[in-house]
Amino acid sequence: MKIIVIFICISFSTAIFSQKKVMKSLQTNASEINIYTKGLDNIILENSSNDFLEVILEAKSYDEQLIKIDADAKKVAIGFDFEGTETREVIFRKFITKRLQRATAIVKIPKGKKVYIFGENVDIETKSLLNDLAIYIENGIVRLHAIQANLLLKLYSGNVYATLKETNINVISKSGKILVDDVLKEKEFLKSLKSLEKQTTIISLKANIFLTTQ
């Protein structure tokens, strides 16, 4: 009970509405961040410069958009919702694409927290994130840049780009292309050294995976 009371006391949120943008920030001792990307086209993850978890959302095709945060002492769950009248463009695009919202979220995460991302059709970019990261999506373009901690990525299809150094590597794409330092690999690429503590695992059925290790 004491942990929950302390957590509530140090937590606060703010909202800024301008040009169809909304922002919330939260200070939390929780060690786990769960992000549910339903409704998003793009999500960008980076480390915050302080102890606050910050979420910025912009959805150009809807009158209002909401960031939904549920938090307790152990974990934080972040989701997104959209309200208001759909634009004519959204109604038309329903017939040609699954990406309807024109919605992008930027999530700034304090160091030391484990991050989980769940979604279907979403593009993801991480900017040299210093957090352990697990991603579970159906399809998307995933740009991971330099991997700084443990990574688990599971997706059905899409393209993956990452720079991997000083990490064990286990990459599988059954019918996609795996290119490591511009060298084509057949279905699987493994690198394992006992001296390395970090682990990078990417598993897919159809994704094309482009890795740089040098």
Q: Is 94 in contact with 100 (CB distance < 8 Å)?
A: yes
Instruction: Provide CB contacts within 8 A for 25, sequence distance 6+.
Output: 12, 13, 14, 52, 53, 54, 55
Contact assessment for residue 67 and residue 80, using Cβ atoms and an 8 Å cutoff: yes
| Least confident range of 15-19, 54-58, 66-70, 180-184 | 15-19
> Which of 105-109, 168-172, 188-192, 201-205 is least confident?
188-192
Mind listing the pLDDT tens digit for each residue in 108-125? 999 999 999 999 999 999
CA dihedral over 174, 175, 180, 183, signed as positive or negative:
positive
> What tens digit of pLDDT does each residue of 135-180 get?
999 999 999 999 999 999 999 999 999 999 999 999 999 999 999 9
Mean per-residue pLDDT, 75-99: 60
Residue indicated by tokens 């000083």: 166
Summarised one tens digit per residue, pLDDT across range 7-25 is 433 444 444 444 478 899 9
Tell me what pLDDT residue 22 has.
87
Classify residue 182 by burial, with Cβ atoms within 10 Å: 0-12, 13-18, 19+.
exposed
Q: What global pTM score does this model have?
A: 0.83
Q: What is the pLDDT of residue 6?
A: 38
Least confident piece of the model among 3-7, 108-112, 182-186, 191-195: 3-7
Instruction: In whole angstroms, give the CA distance from residue 173 to residue 203.
Output: 6
Cα–Cα separations (whole angstroms), residue 151 to 46, 53, 83, 120, 136: 15, 20, 34, 19, 11
Average pLDDT (34-61) is 91
Q: How confident is the model at residue 194 (pLDDT cuts 50, 70, 90)?
A: confident
Residue 59 confidence (pLDDT) above 80:
no
3-state secondary structure of 190: strand
Q: Which two tokens stand for residue 88?
A: 């004519």
The partner residues of 172 in beta bridges, in order of sequence, read: 188, 203
Distance CA 191, CA 177 (A): 17
User: Where in the chain are the domains?
Assistant: 1-122, 132-214
Which strand (E) or helix (H) includes residue 32?
A: strand 32-36
